[in-house]
């Protein structure tokens, strides 16, 4: 009696989106060689759906179904190779763990995909800032991910954004058309992804492209900066490890030049261009690492003829902040270990509570998100009894100076409304010997939720959630979530807790450690 081939009982649909044509051909060949069947219609028996998608609505949209076929497993493109390697159907580690968005709880807006040629009306949006415009352009390009040529019935695969309707609102036939909302993909991943679901399987490649971004930034080549950043975003989200240039052929956003760079990295382990430093790269990087010196000032220093920190120190006219930036240059370059951050947090909290035991004092930023190292330390302080005392910030700074913790003042932004105030300076923990950057922020207790979102980050999370709020007719900042009226007026909707803001936007609350999107 002849033994059955490995894939004898497998009837699989191959969804080609985000998988190169070459890889699709190889999977089809290996599947059929081992007795499997590639099906092109759900009208026949389907045991497996092979896809690079991580969202159920994308798979169902591609198949043009409301639910998955019964007893059908959805697996990643690694399923065929791993099964052959192990000599059995290897579902472990290959079954797709879907991530799906939570729909807004307090809005009747429709969350749906916008066609690439569809424009938002002025009533639905307001002018975007530079970053948001780039984000929107990125959305359009990524939503048109390349597909392989196929003669099956599945056409027009959906994009990477959520499409859903509010069932209650839909039942009202007299209701006027509602707004169209786009959920940025990074925020979509956060909304229901597990902390480990976004593992980068091609870190060795994206690290080199990140170096290429830095080089392009030094050259001021905006086109290359955006191209390399886009490549990092695409490659880091692939569900498979790139083994050859063939694996990326057909991927939208990865053109001929990017493919050649990937091939070089795979062959040599690095990108020669990323490690070939232009002459001015070194001086510009040194100058930009001076506190208070940005890209334009650094370029100005280089154009004048400065090449070293000593040139800047002895020849340039510097602000006080820049002078301190040079004085503490080496210290500021050193990342702060989490253990030291914890000691600083404990010390500052103790000093604050000696002034008023009722005050809430938290270290924010990357520390709150669980980072092992931080660039500086940020504290947010509020009084649960109401508005903070007008002299509270000065009292805290003076106390920390008197115990030798604060070394220097740095320039601080002016208060917007007299309630939120920020102080910036330089501190040193006893027994450490390294100066650190510190920010102390005083916020009204009624704004604690909005301020916590804002000062927790990360930057990408904040930008995405602000963009989502804008598309839903709100405005979100560190003071609160506001509804925008027809004449531009703003009405406060929520500000006290993160939970109430997240609920209104339909975004599940998760701890800060899961916001590193």
Would you give per-residue pLDDT tens digits along the chain (517 residues)?
A: 456 789 999 999 998 877 777 788 888 888 998 999 998 877 678 999 999 877 777 788 778 887 888 889 999 888 998 888 888 998 888 888 775 444 344 333 333 332 222 222 222 333 334 434 444 444 333 333 333 333 333 333 333 333 333 333 333 333 334 444 556 666 766 775 544 445 788 999 999 999 999 888 777 788 888 889 889 988 988 888 899 888 888 888 898 889 999 999 999 988 998 888 778 888 988 999 999 998 889 989 999 999 999 999 999 999 999 999 999 999 999 999 999 999 999 999 999 999 999 999 999 999 999 999 999 999 999 999 876 677 899 999 999 999 999 999 998 776 655 556 899 999 999 988 899 999 999 999 999 999 999 999 888 889 889 988 988 889 999 999 999 888 878 899 999 999 999 999 888 888 898 888 7
Task: Kindly report the CATH class assigned to 203-275.
Answer: mainly alpha
Specify the pLDDT at position 314: 95
For residue 377, the cross-strand partners are 438
Say which of 261, 286, 428, 471 is annotated catalytic. 261
- Tell me the CATH number for domain 336-443: 3.30.460.10
pLDDT of residue 53: 78
Q: How many CB atoms lie within 10 A of CB 299?
A: 16
Q: What is the pLDDT of residue 110?
A: 32
Q: Which region, left, alpha or beta, applies to residue 245 given φ > 0 means left and ψ of -120 to 50 means alpha?
A: alpha
Query: Domain 11-86, what fold?
Result: Rossmann fold (3.40.50)
Domain ranges of the chain: 11-86, 203-275, 293-331, 336-443
**Phi/psi of residue 405, nearest 5 degrees:** -80, -45
CA distances from 22 to 32, 94, 147 (A): 16, 20, 12
Any idea what the Cα angle at residue 431 is, between residues 429 and 436, rounded to 5°?
Answer: 30
What is the SS3 assignment for 406?
strand
Known active-site residue 261: yes
- Identical fold at 11-86 and 203-275? no
- Number of helices followed by number of strands (H, E) in the chain: 21, 16
H or E element at residue 436: strand 436-442
pLDDT at 516 (0 to 100): 82
CB 34 within 8 A of CB 264: no
**pLDDT for residue 125:** 31
Tell me how far apart the alpha carbons of residues 7 and 64 are, in angstroms, rounded to a whole number: 26
Closest of 445, 448, 435, 412 to residue 320, by C-alpha: 412
């Amino acid at each position: 009696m002849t033994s059955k081939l490995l894939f004898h009982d497998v009837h699989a649909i191959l969804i080609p989106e985000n998988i190169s044509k070459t890889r699709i051909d190889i999977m089809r060949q290996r599947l059929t060689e081992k007795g499997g069947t590639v099906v092109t219609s759900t009208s026949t028996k389907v045991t497996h759906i092979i896809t690079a998608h991580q969202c159920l609505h994308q798979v169902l949209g591609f198949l043009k179904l409301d639910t998955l076929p019964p007893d059908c497993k959805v697996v990643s493109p690694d399923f065929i190779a791993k099964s052959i390697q192990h000599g059995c159907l290897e579902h472990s580690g290959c079954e797709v763990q879907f991530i799906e968005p939570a729909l807004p709880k307090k809005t009747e807006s429709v969350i749906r995909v916008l066609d690439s040629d569809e424009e938002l009306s002025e009533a639905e949006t307001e002018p975007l800032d530079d970053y948001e415009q780039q984000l929107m352009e990125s959305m359009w390009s990524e939503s048109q991910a390349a597909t392989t040529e196929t003669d099956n019935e599945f056409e027009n695969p959906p994009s990477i954004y959520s499409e859903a309707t509010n069932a209650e609102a839909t039942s009202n036939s007299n209701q006027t058309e509602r707004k169209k909302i786009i959920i940025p993909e990074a925020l979509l991943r956060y909304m229901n992804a597990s902390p480990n679901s976004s593992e980068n399987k091609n870190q060795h490649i994206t690290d080199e492209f990140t170096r290429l971004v830095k080089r392009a930034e030094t050259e001021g080549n905006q086109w290359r900066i955006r191209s390399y950043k886009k490549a990092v975003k695409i490659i880091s989200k692939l569900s498979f490890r790139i083994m050859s240039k063939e694996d990326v052929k057909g991927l939208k956003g990865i053109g001929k030049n990017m493919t050649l760079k990937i091939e070089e990295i795979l062959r040599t382990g690095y990108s020669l261009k990323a490690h070939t430093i232009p002459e001015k790269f070194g001086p510009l990087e040194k100058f930009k690492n001076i506190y208070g010196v940005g890209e334009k000032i650094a370029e100005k220093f280089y154009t004048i003829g400065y090449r070293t920190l000593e040139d800047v120190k002895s020849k340039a006219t510097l602000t006080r902040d820049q002078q301190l930036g040079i004085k503490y240059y080496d210290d500021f370059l050193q990342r702060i270990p989490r253990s030291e951050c914890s000691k600083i947090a404990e010390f500052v909290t103790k000093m604050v509570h000696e002034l008023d035991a009722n005050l809430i004092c938290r270290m924010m930023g990357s520390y709150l998100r669980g980072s092992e190292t931080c660039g500086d330390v940020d504290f947010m302080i509020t009084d649960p009894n109401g508005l903070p005392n007008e002299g509270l910030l000065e009292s805290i700074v003076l106390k920390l100076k008197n115990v030798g913790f604060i070394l220097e003042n740095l320039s601080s932004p002016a208060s917007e409304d007299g309630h939120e105030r920020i102080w910036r300076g330089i501190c040193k923990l006893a027994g450490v010997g390294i100066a650190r950057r510190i920010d102390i922020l005083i916020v009204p207790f009624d704004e604690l939720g909005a301020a916590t979102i804002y000062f927790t980050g990360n930057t990408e999370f904040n930008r995405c959630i602000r963009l989502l709020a804008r598309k839903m007719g709100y405005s979100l900042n560190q003071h609160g979530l506001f509804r925008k009226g027809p004449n531009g007026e703003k009405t406060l909707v929520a500000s006290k807790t993160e939970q109430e803001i997240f609920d209104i936007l339909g975004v599940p609350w998760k701890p800060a450690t899961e916001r590193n999107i």
